[in-house]
């Protein structure tokens, strides 16, 4: 497989902070319940899916030292597109001045990892430089008067620039999957609000995430002890703890943003990765385990080797340039 590397990362959160106290003031809930049952203290509301995506992507491009026109593949993972048609990625592609292909991908909360795996496969097929963005504004499709869901979801975006290189593969193993018989435990009809059987989603999420993560560790021939950073989908700290315990990864190696972002769906793994990278928690050669799950019910895991030896990225002349 062709080499690839993450060369830039960035995140974007709307300005409006919604605390547990804000919910406490108007719903039959409490800060204590929300923190103990979910691990969430606050979340951000506002913005649009495309606007947040553009902002996180600009930061990722800046970090990579790249301009939009150097990107020939844009994958936008989202469950909350700004419009039905055209794809939200069209707006993002235009505002960033990218060339080549762009498309939306809906794998719900597993979207970022689905997007990363898809982009890397397309780099292998000849594209040269990709933006992978997870962006969601679930506050717009959440009934803010329903305590079962309102306290859980937040808005945000996380992005990475991934470049084809002459070096090592980025993804050592991946596992994408779905059980479509579970569509009714978590859904949102057009024009409606998110409906969720929380307890059932919780149970299935733990099992799916553990099994998927175990598959990629085995495929990559890597032990849990060798994982420097575990980047799970950020839905509930109790799900993350249950998964971490079963895999044998201690909490010091989790990347967590849930406490201040809530569940940002397709954005969550991108935001957690960006914060961890900004905090200097990753160095060249480190192994990162991503694992996400979401409505569908989807799941996605990947073992990623961070950085690696300095390698030349592939020059201009990928598929996008032929247009």
Cite the active site residues: 109, 233, 263
Tell me: does residue 184 bind ligand UT7 (CB under 6 A).
no
Which helix (H) or strand (E) segment holds residue 23: the answer is helix 20-24
Cβ-based nearer residue to ligand UT7, 220 or 247? 247
In whole angstroms, the minimum distance from the beta carbon of 29 to ligand UT7 comes to: 3
Among 15, 257, 21, 23, residue whose Cα is nearest residue 151? 23
In whole angstroms, the minimum distance from the beta carbon of 186 to ligand UT7 comes to: 6
**Are residues 15 and 177 in contact, defined by beta-carbon separation less than 8 angstroms?**
no
In whole angstroms, the minimum distance from the beta carbon of 236 to ligand UT7 comes to: 4
Cβ-based nearer residue to ligand UT7, 237 or 247? 237
Tell me 69's DSSP state: G
Among 84, 72, 201, residue whose Cα is nearest residue 127? 72
Cβ-based nearer residue to ligand UT7, 170 or 297? 297
Tell me: does residue 193 bind ligand UT7 (CB under 6 A).
no
CA angle 77, 306, 137 (to 5 degrees): 20
Give the residue at shortest CB distance from ligand UT7: 198
Sequence-separated (6 or more) residues with CB below 8 Å from residue 176: 107, 110, 113, 114, 117, 298, 299, 300
In whole angstroms, the minimum distance from the beta carbon of 150 to ligand UT7 comes to: 7
Query: Count of CB atoms within 10 A of residue 110's CB?
Result: 35
DSSP 135-185: EEEGGGGS-TT-HHHHTTB-EEEEEEEEEEESS--SEEEEEEEE-GGGGGG
**Residues 48-87: x where in contact with ligand UT7 by CB under 6 A, - otherwise, as a string:** ----------------------------------------
Tell me: does residue 235 bind ligand UT7 (CB under 6 A).
yes
Exposed (0-12), middle (13-18) or buried (19+): which is 85, by Cβ within 10 Å?
Answer: exposed
Cβ-based nearer residue to ligand UT7, 137 or 165? 137
In whole angstroms, the minimum distance from the beta carbon of 145 to ligand UT7 comes to: 11
Interface pick for ligand UT7 out of 73, 109, 161, 249 (rule CB under 6 A): 109
Cβ-based nearer residue to ligand UT7, 148 or 219? 148
Tell me: does residue 33 bind ligand UT7 (CB under 6 A).
yes
Q: Which stretch binds ligand UT7 (CB under 6 A): 8-16, 26-34, 95-103, 125-133?
A: 26-34
Interface pick for ligand UT7 out of 5, 7, 12, 38 (rule CB under 6 A): 38
Cβ-based nearer residue to ligand UT7, 139 or 236? 236
Interface pick for ligand UT7 out of 2, 41, 147, 281 (rule CB under 6 A): 147
Residue 313 in tokens: 């990225």
**Residues 197-216: x where in contact with ligand UT7 by CB under 6 A, - otherwise, as a string:** -xx-xx--x-----------
Interface pick for ligand UT7 out of 151, 240, 256, 314 (rule CB under 6 A): 151
Sequence-separated (6 or more) residues with CB below 8 Å from residue 108: 79, 186, 265, 266, 294, 295, 296, 298
Q: 3-class SS at 70?
A: helix
Give the alpha-carbon dihedral of 121, 125, 128, 131, to 10 degrees: -30
Among 11, 146, 7, 145, residue whose Cα is nearest residue 64? 7
Tell me 221's DSSP state: T
Residues forming the site for ligand UT7 (CB under 6 A)? 29, 33-34, 37-38, 109, 147-148, 151, 186, 196, 198-199, 201-202, 205, 235-236, 263, 294
């Amino acid at each position: 497989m062709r080499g690839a590397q993450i060369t830039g990362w960035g995140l974007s959160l709307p300005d409006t902070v919604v605390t547990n106290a804000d919910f406490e003031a108007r719903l039959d809930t409490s800060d204590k319940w929300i923190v103990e049952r979910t691990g969430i203290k606050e979340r951000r509301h506002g913005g649009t899916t495309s606007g947040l995506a553009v902002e996180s992507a600009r930061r990722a491009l800046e970090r990579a030292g790249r301009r939009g026109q150097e990107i020939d593949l844009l994958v936008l993972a989202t469950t909350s597109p700004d419009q039905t048609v055209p794809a939200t990625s069209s707006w993002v592609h235009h505002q960033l001045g990218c060339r080549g292909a762009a498309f939306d991908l809906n794998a719900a909360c597993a979207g970022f990892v689905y997007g990363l795996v898809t982009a890397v496969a397309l780099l292998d097929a000849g594209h040269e430089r990709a933006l992978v963005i997870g962006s969601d504004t679930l506050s717009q499709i959440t009934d803010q008067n329903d305590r079962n869901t309102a306290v859980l979801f937040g808005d945000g975006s996380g992005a990475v620039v991934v470049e084809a290189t002459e070096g090592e593969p980025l993804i050592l193993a991946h596992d994408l999957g779905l059980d479509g018989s579970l569509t009714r435990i978590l859904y949102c009809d057009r024009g409606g609000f998110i409906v969720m059987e929380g307890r059932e989603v919780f149970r299935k999420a733990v099992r799916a995430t553990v099994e998927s993560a175990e598959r990629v560790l085995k495929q990559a021939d890597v032990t849990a002890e060798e994982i420097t950073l575990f980047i799970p989908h950020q839905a509930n700290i109790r799900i993350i703890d249950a998964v971490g315990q079963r895999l044998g990864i201690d909490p010091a190696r989790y990347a967590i943003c849930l406490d201040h972002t809530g569940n940002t769906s397709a954005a969550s793994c991108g935001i957690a990765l960006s914060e961890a990278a900004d905090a200097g928690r990753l160095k060249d050669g480190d192994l990162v385990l991503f694992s996400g799950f979401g409505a569908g019910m989807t799941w996605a895991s990947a073992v990623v080797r961070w950085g690696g030896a300095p390698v030349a990225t592939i020059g201009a002349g990928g598929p996008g340039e032929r247009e």
